Amino acid sequence: MITGLLLIFVAVSIVTIIVKESNPEDINSPKIQNQTVVYYFHGNQRCVTCNTIEKYVNETVSEFFNEKVAGKEIIIKSINLDEPANAHFVELFDLSARVVVVANYTDTLQPGWKKLNRVWELVSDEETFKLYIKDGIQSVLNGKTT
């Protein structure tokens, strides 16, 4: 019985590896090229403000960059930093708080990126917040990164 369970575990592990290797849109993978990712980093505990930030980011990207989203040139990804598999983002983007990061992946393994720290400060003013996110994304698209 133990042998059977081990064989099932090995088979599931192999299938998981194959699926991960064949998924070109895996945002945690350094294989992403020629794509801009708008990350919203959060934790397990999410307050009303956290959810509002995520909502405004999604609305902004959809409103101002709809064609690029449709063409998969820009994608939005919410990442839970409390999950151990996502710990590498803290070092990659020098994170000390829950923020929005716009990363432009090209031919290199290290993306050009810009951290949008003011999201907490601006969330109470929806219009200003959305313009800040829009300008941050546009800045990265124009090659102005950290």
Q: Give this prediction's pTM.
A: 0.75
- Model pLDDT, residue 8: 72
Q: Measure the CA–CA gap between 12 and 31, rounded to whole angstroms.
A: 23
Q: In the block, which residue shows the tokens 């999604």?
A: 58
| pLDDT tens per residue across all 146 residues of the chain | 777 666 676 556 565 555 444 443 444 444 556 789 999 999 999 899 999 999 999 999 999 999 999 999 999 999 999 999 999 999 999 998 889 999 998 866 667 899 999 999 999 999 999 999 999 999 999 888 76
Domains and CATH numbers, the chain: 32-141 (3.40.30.10)
User: DSSP readout, 111-145?
Assistant: PEEEEETTHHHHTTSHHHHHHHHHHHHHHHHTT--
CB 103 within 8 A of CB 140: yes
Output the pLDDT for position 27.
46
Tokens of 142: 């124009």
Q: Alpha-carbon dihedral of residues 125, 52, 70, 36, nearest 10 degrees?
A: 80
Residue type, position 67, single letter: E
Residue 111, SS3 per DSSP: coil
Identity of residue 53: I
Question: How confident is the model at residue 81, as a pLDDT?
Answer: 93
Which DSSP state fits 124?
A: T
**DSSP-assigned letter for residue 86:** G
